[in-house]
Structure 1
Amino acid sequence: MITRKALTLADVQAIAAAAETEAKRNDWKVSIAIVDDGGHLLHFQRLDGAPLTSIEIAQGKAKASAFGRRPSKAFEDIVAGGRNAFLSVPGIVLLEGAEPIIVDGICIGAVGVSGVRSDQDAQIARAGIAALAG
C-alpha cells in the first residue's frame, strides 16, 4: 500500500478563489474546472458572461491535464507537430488552458479553464494552483 496526497475541499476552494480572482482582475469571462487525479470533477464555476462552450471545454482540458500529468498544451503541441492520430484520444480536450496540480512530484489533480485565449486560460489555471503554495 502507498499513501498519497489528495486535494481537500479547502484546497479546491482556495484554488477556485484564486483562479476566479485572476480572471476577474483581467475582466475575463471564463469557466473554471478542478478535477482530481482521475479526472473526476471536484469543482466547477462559470463566471457571468462566459461562453456556453466553455463549460465542456474547461472540464475536458482539466481531465486531459490530470490524465496526462502535464499541461494540456503538451497535447495541443503533439497534434500541431503532425501527430494527428492523437486526435482520436477519447473524452479529453487537446487545447492549452489546463495545468496539473503537482505536489511532491505527484499529480493530484488539474485545473482547466476556457473562455479567453488559450494562453490566458492557462494563466488563470496557474494562478489558481499558486494558491496552494501560499
Structure 2
Amino acid sequence: MTVLLTDSLSQALGQWLVQQARADGLAPVCIALSHPDGVLHYFLRMDGAPVRTVAIAQAKAYSSARFGTSTLALQERLHRESLLLSDFMDPNLCALPGGIPLELGSTLIGAVGISGRTLAEDHALALQANTFLQQYTD
C-alpha cells in the first residue's frame, strides 16, 4: 500500500505547525510540504514572514524530499565531502537547515521546509512535524 501526504494530512500538519510557531512566540515562518518527489503540496506564509522565506521554505522541503534526509545532514555532507550544491546539477536544492523528511514508520511520505527564523530554530520547528505524524496515526 502506498502512503501519501494527502490533502487532509497536509492541512492538519500545516495548521498544527502554525499553532506551534505561534505558541513559542518566535518569528513567523513559511511552511512548505512536498511529496517524496519534491513537488510542493502545501504552503503557508504566516503573517509577517519575510518574502525571501517563501522560496527558501519550498527549497528546503524539495531538497529534503529529494535526498531523503534533513537539510542539516545535507549541509554536513557538503562540508565533509567538500561538495557544492551545484555539483548535483539541480538549481532547486538548498542545504540550509530547516528541511526534514516526513516519515510514517519507515515510509517517506514527503518533506517539510521551514524558513523565517534562525537556521537552528527553523530546524527545531521542522523536527516537530514527525512528532505530529506519530500522534496523527496513533
Distance apart, 1:82 and its partner CA: 5.3
Letter of the 2:6 partner, please give it. T
Fraction of identical pairs, as percent: 28
Letter of the 1:115 partner, please give it. G
3-state SS in 1 of match to 2:44? strand
For residues 85 and 32 of structure 1, what CA distance do their matches in structure 2 show? 25
* Aligned match of 2:71: 72
Instruction: State the superposition RMSD in angstroms.
Output: 1.5
Task: State the TM-score, normalizing by the size of structure 1.
Answer: 0.90
Letter of the 1:93 partner, please give it. C
Structure 1 spans left out of the alignment, 5+ residues: none
Q: Which has the higher contact order (CA 8 A, sep 6+)?
A: 1
Letter of the 1:12 partner, please give it. S
Task: State the TM-score, normalizing by the size of structure 2.
Answer: 0.88
* Aligned match of 1:7: 5
* Aligned match of 2:116: 115
Pairs aligned (count): 132
3-state SS in 1 of match to 2:3? coil
For residues 21 and 80 of structure 1, what CA distance do their matches in structure 2 show? 34
Counterpart check, 1:35 vs 2:24: no
Hey, which bits of structure 1, 4+ residues long, moved more than 6 A? none
Distance apart, 1:80 and its partner CA: 2.9
Counterpart check, 1:85 vs 2:84: yes
Structure 2 spans left out of the alignment, 5+ residues: none
Letter of the 1:37 partner, please give it. P
